[in-house]
Structure 1
Amino acid sequence: MTTETDPAVVLAGNTAGVRFDDLDEATVEATTEVLFDTLACALGGLHSPGVPEARRALTTWGPGKATIWGTTETAPGPFAAVANGGALHALDYDDTDDEVPLHAASVVLPALLADLEENRPDCGGREFLTALAVGLDGAMRVGRAGGPKGSRGWNYSVVSGGMGAALAVARLRNWDVDKTVSLLGHQLAQTAGSLQSIIDGTLAKRFQPAVVAKNVLFGAALADAGIDGPRNVFDGRAGFVNLYQDGKFDRDALLEGADRASLLTDLSLKPYPACRFTHAPIDLALEIRAAGIAPETVEHIVFETSGQAFNMVGRTYDPATANLVDAQFCIAYTTSVALHRGAVLIGDFAESALRDPVVGGFAAERISVRPTDDVDFLAMAPVTAHVRLKDGSERTFVGKTISGSPQQRLTPGQLRDKAADCFRHGRATVSVDELWDTVHALADDAPVERLLALLARPSKGSDNR
């Protein structure tokens, strides 16, 4: 597909034209599932390191119209988006598009709900779900059209997620093409997204998507005031394609199917609260355990992964010094947890768990990771585990799919169990059934204010009352 017009114009036109009836049943189901899952993650992250501190810091800007989830407090929309986005992303339990990879909802949902409260508080469920689907689909499209650039240090949850959030807000406000392109241009002008926070193992990582959500809302205010953003968003000399993609971009991937948000069914929901690149190795560790291999019988395990998986999560583990982010981004630690405990849950990343000498010692001394050229550099799977036992025998396990992916979707029961773990950790006063029923009622056009009422219910031990 070729056009003389910047792709932003076509993308904006598709966005403006999408109606709820254009979404097929599978897309609506995928949208409600990711909404339920994402909000469960957010309520689970309310008390995670850095999140309460961020809420307190944001009180500087005073109250507003947007809910800070899990509290009775409010804030201006952009700052509520930061607080909520930080909680949402804190557990590293939120959705991924494995093809890129990126966390689409981490930027789109906090921006969209904050904007809804400020500008369309009486919005019906179908209109909201349409805007959410458009935004998630848009983030995935931008990421897939460019292809992963993690090797250059770009965080694609940030780079692509901001574009998706801009489309979602524009759709919610029923903007025309020109104003939508202006907002996309403002987002281009503000976008940055370094992976250094992950490399250094800092808490800044969990706030990067949140700050982008804030920027989208600032950009929307400017565009709505008639302050124009760059017009050549993708094709400009310093536009998205040249700046982030080295001039390589698949316009078909960006545009085809955008008028019906057709990519949503490709979104993965995580079964484990850790970097998605750890998931295939965790699946293998659970398979090793299920095969009757106990940790005390293991001499050494070598995980063979893609080059990008090695770069992201192949770090060594030191139980004396590792922090939360180190553990979330470590194959050695997460697979040791799976092998010893038979599951990987939120509590496995508590400070006391990180210092467990048995699990941590096994991760440090008996697990190693090495990249292989036999797997595509950017792939999450396949992953191979070579297990050498103390009796001298060896076993090999190969994982070709990943739990939570479109090929191995989480069941409704698994999603609900995950939400229950999140609610226990976040001390939420919302029940799994309440959130499940309220989210699914949106497809029947229940008002979004019912969902907002649940999110405004304070958690136990909330620092804001």
Structure 2
Amino acid sequence: MMQSSFSPAEGFGKAVCGSFAALRFDDIPDDVMARLKLFLLDSIGTVAAGVFAPGVEELARRLARWESSGSATVLGRGRRVSPPSAAMVNAAAAHALDFDDQHDPTRVHSYCCVVPAVLATAEDLGNVSGEAILEAVACGVEFHARLGDACMESFERGWMPTVTFGTLASAMAAGKILGLDADGLANAVGLAYHQASGNGQARTDQTLAKRLGPGFAARSGVLSAFLAADGVTGPHRALEGRDGLFRLYLDGRADASRLQAGLGTRWYVSEFSMKPYPGCRCNHTVIDMGTRLHAEKLDPEAIERVQIYLGEVNYSTVQGKYDPELGSQVHAQFNAAYNLARAIIDGGVSLASFSDEAIRDERVASLAARIDAFVDPGIPVNATGPARLKVFLRDGGEIELSRDTMPGSPARPLSVNAVRRKFEDCVVHGLGADTDKVQELASCILDIEHSNIECLVAAFPAGQNEAGKGGEFEIHAV
């Protein structure tokens, strides 16, 4: 997919930072704010779900050996470390089970980077209001999605836009908490760009490193904002310069105008999707169709084979035969055959679907072995929603299904009750918390504009290291 380019003049990056510096809590419309708070609830729930996940556990233990104290909290563990380290562990936890947000058109996961960066920065500063937290999250998420929209070719070029752009977005959000002006935000974003990386190889190789990417972004963003506050200067042409983001990372194939067009009136924040299922978003339409087949009482043993048809980018992300012998949660999360088989057999995909026992389930593996994915040339290359199935039955019958939209998207949003059930399941799954603790945390988040950072952190339950022992989230009233 080729994107038309717009070459910004010198001073563009600072002007963008000035626009975000000027945005205030009162500028956010009520409907956008309501959605923002639901996503904050969802994001903190995904942190809880991933506290003890493989990859996150090792990261937290390593940092515990290196840091014995600090001014920010590793959520669910109660340990205090430096703000960059707290942001890193909490962001990795938010992304670990792939249950976090996504802006489907640009494929960026923003809240998992931005929220941990904001919370860690706010804890260090102390007595930060809920309004300031919401303002910073809104600006960071908005900046992230707009960067993704400006640089639509980044995913196809091998970058991981969640991480690459999430580093800059985390710096923007943390800088807002610190009260940086346009120059300060420009320095923070410039310092973040100096560290920005993140490629798709960890996803392609389906390794635990995939889970840590948002952690690296949040860590670097927080560090950049604090250094900027301390007077360290960053490259002021981080976006538009000769070696800036647009030229170096995209060969100039970016539309920089999207960073400012309609800022303050069109809110990308309102265009995010909330995942109803854990695992790669590329699988969600396929899972949705699998749940329908389950509801129609299709016997898995009656299936001879299944063909999944996806757009090229989705296909490249979740294609391939499922191999239960790998014993890899990440492999299962990023495999269309596994997710469809699980949906047909169980009627959905839940957090429990990726336990060590579940990913070796012989019945699911047997059905997954009869499922193959293909590119559908009729689906736009970068489209996330559309997918179709062709099911061949042993008796000679055939079933064809197709859908263009995913549950959890703006076109098919989860109900408020469904979001709250998902949150509860995440907190119970990851921390073993009781209902009272779950509701206390939810109430604090949903009323955060009347509270502060200390309330939120104090309400977060301590984990019992019983990951995987919670209930199972199911969609109702999607």
Normalising by the residue count of structure 1, what TM-score does the alignment of the two structures yield?
A: 0.95
Q: Which residue of 1 aligns with 2:375?
A: 371
1:387 match: secondary structure: strand
**Mapped pair 1:176 → 2:181:** yes
The answer (yes or no) to whether the contact 1:17–1:259 under 8 Å persists in 2 is no
* In structure 1, C-alpha distance between the alignment counterparts of 2:263 and 2:360, rounded to whole Å: 47
The answer (yes or no) to whether the contact 2:25–2:132 under 8 Å persists in 1 is yes
**Mapped pair 1:248 → 2:273:** no
Alignment of 1:96-245 (within 5 A): 96-119=102-125, 121-245=126-250
* In structure 2, C-alpha distance between the alignment counterparts of 1:151 and 1:422, rounded to whole Å: 32
Question: Which one scores higher on RCO, CA 8 angstroms, separation ≥ 6?
Answer: 1
> Structure 1 residues 288, 379: closer, same or farther in 2, change over 3 A?
same
Residue number among 8, 12, 26 corresponding to 1:7 in the alignment = 12
Return the offset for 1:246.
2.2
* In structure 1, C-alpha distance between the alignment counterparts of 2:229 and 2:453, rounded to whole Å: 23
The answer (yes or no) to whether the contact 1:438–1:450 under 8 Å persists in 2 is yes
User: Runs in 1 of length 4+ with deviation above 6 angstroms?
Assistant: none
**Mapped pair 1:440 → 2:440:** no
Q: Which amino acid aligns with 1:67?
A: T
Residue number among 19, 36, 42 corresponding to 2:41 in the alignment = 36
Residue number among 271, 296, 299 corresponding to 2:276 in the alignment = 271
**Mapped pair 1:56 → 2:61:** yes
Seq. identity, %? 31
Residue number among 400, 405, 408 corresponding to 2:409 in the alignment = 405
Q: Which amino acid aligns with 2:347?
A: G
**Mapped pair 1:458 → 2:462:** yes
The answer (yes or no) to whether the contact 2:72–2:124 under 8 Å persists in 1 is yes
Q: Point out where structure 2 has 5 or more consecutive residues left out of the alignment.
A: 1-5, 468-478
Q: Which residue of 2 aligns with 1:346?
A: 351
Aligned length: 459
Return the offset for 1:124.
1.2
Residue number among 286, 295, 312 corresponding to 2:291 in the alignment = 286
Q: Which residue of 1 aligns with 2:391?
A: 387
Deviations 1:63-105 (A, max 9, x none): 1010110122110111111111121111110000001101101
Residue number among 319, 322, 331 corresponding to 1:326 in the alignment = 331
The answer (yes or no) to whether the contact 2:50–2:95 under 8 Å persists in 1 is yes
The answer (yes or no) to whether the contact 1:27–1:264 under 8 Å persists in 2 is yes
Return the offset for 1:260.
5.6
* In structure 1, C-alpha distance between the alignment counterparts of 2:217 and 2:309, rounded to whole Å: 34
* In structure 2, C-alpha distance between the alignment counterparts of 1:3 and 1:350, rounded to whole Å: 48
* In structure 2, C-alpha distance between the alignment counterparts of 1:257 and 1:434, rounded to whole Å: 37
Q: Which amino acid aligns with 1:370?
A: F
Return the offset for 1:62.
2.2
1:150 match: secondary structure: coil
Q: Which residue of 1 aligns with 2:471?
A: none
Q: Which amino acid aligns with 1:361?
A: S
Deviations 1:387-430 (A, max 9, x none): 11111111110011101100000111111221222123213436
Return the offset for 1:177.
0.9
Q: Which amino acid aligns with 1:335?
A: L
Return the offset for 1:322.
4.3
